[in-house]
Amino acid sequence: MPELTYLNGKIFEAGETRISTNDRGFIFGDGIYEVVRSYNGKLFGLEEHLRRLQQSADAIDLKLPHTLEEFQELVETLNRKSELLETLVYIQVTRGTEPRNHLFSLDLPPNVFITIRALPDIPGEIYTKGVSAVTVHDGRWNMCHVKSISLLANVLAKHEARKQGAYEAIFVRENGVVTEASSSNVFMVSGGILHTHPADNRILNGITRQFILKLCDELNIPTEVRPYSKDELRRADEVFCTNSVHEVTPVVTVDGMTIGSGRPGPITNQLMRAYRQLVKSVISNQ
C-alpha cells in the first residue's frame, strides 16, 4: 500500500477517504495540523512536531483524542505501512462532526486524519540557484503561532507570488515588519548576523527554524532574534526560508531586487549543509 490515508482508526487507499460535510474542519476550518518529512523511512523531528500539535490544540481548547506517545506510534506505523522511503506526512485534527453552529459541543470527539504521500519532486535548482520572493501584506490573525488549518491568507499570498512570477510570498505587517513566508519561516543575513522574527504570536515557530538557530550556536554564527523591516530585508546580504519539507531554501530576489550577489550566500549554504548533516545523523541513530 504506497500512499495511504487514515481517518479515525481506519486506513484507506489515498483518495478513498470520506468525511462528513458536518466536519468542523470542512465548515469552519476549525482544526490544526502538522507536516513531517521522512528520510529513508525515518521521520525527522516527529516528537517536536507532535509537541507543537499539542501546543496548537491547547491554544484552541481542543482535547487531543490520543496521547503524544500514541500519536507517535500511529504515525510511525502508518509510515512503515506505506513502504515509501521519502514521504510527506500530514496530520490533521479537527474539532469533530456536528451540524453547523459556531458554538461547539464540549464533548465532541475530534476527527484525526493522517495522509502518507510520496515526497513531491523538489527541483535541485531551488537550492543551487535560489528562488524569487515578493512581499505581501500580512493581514492574518494574531494567533499565527497556532498551526491552524485555516490557511486562506497563506493560500492567497502564494497565489499573489505566482501572479507576480515569483516562487514565494513573504508577509510584511502594516508597520513594515517582516514576519514569515506563506508556508515557511524567513531569515536574513546582514553584516554577518543572522536575523529572524521572534517566536511570538505573529509567526509559526517552525521546527526547522528552531534547528537552524541551534545550528547557528554550534557553528558560532551570530544571531539576532528581533523584528526587522522590509527595507532591511531588501538590503540584506542573504535571505532564506525554512520549512520541514524544503529545508533551507535560498532567496535571491525580493520584489525584483537582487539580494547580495544574486546567488545563494555562504551562510545560507553553510546552514543548508549543516541541516542536511543533522538530518542524516539523527536518522542514522533512529
Confirm whether 147 is a catalytic residue: yes
Residues numbered 142 to 181 that lie near ligand PDD (CB under 6 A) are 154, 180
Among 59, 245, 278, 282, interactor with ligand PDD by CB under 6 A = 245
Single out the segment in contact with ligand PDD by CB under 6 A; choices: 121-129, 182-190, 226-234, 268-276: 182-190
Site for ligand PDD contains 209 (CB under 6 A): yes
Rounded CA gap, 50 and 167, in Å? 29
**Among 206, 250, 260, 265, which residue interacts with ligand PDD (rule: CB under 6 A)?**
206
DSSP string of 204-235, one letter each residue: ---HHHHHHHHHHHHTT--EEES-EEHHHHHT
With respect to ligand PDD, which residue has the nearer C-beta, 155 or 219?
155
Rounded Cα–Cα distance for residues 43 and 209 (Å): 17
Exposure of 232 in the CB half-sphere (CA atoms within 13 A): 20
Beta bridge partners, 116, equal 4, 89
**Rounded to the nearest whole angstrom, what is the least distance from the CB of residue 218 to ligand PDD in the complex?**
18
User: Which residue in 10, 147, 163, 280 is the catalytic one?
Assistant: 147
C-alpha to C-alpha distance for 257 and 174, rounded to whole angstroms: 21
Q: Considering the rule CB under 6 A, would residue 92 count as an interface residue with ligand PDD?
A: no
Q: How far apart are CA 188 and CA 267, in angstroms?
A: 10
Nearest approach, Cβ of residue 261 and ligand PDD (Å): 26
Stretch of 5-13, 57-65, 79-87, 206-214 contacting ligand PDD, by CB under 6 A = 206-214
**Residue 85 and residue 11 in contact, taking contact as beta carbons nearer than 8 Å:** no
Applying CB under 6 A, which residues contact ligand PDD?
35, 154, 180, 183-185, 204, 206-209, 242-245
Catalytic residue set: 147
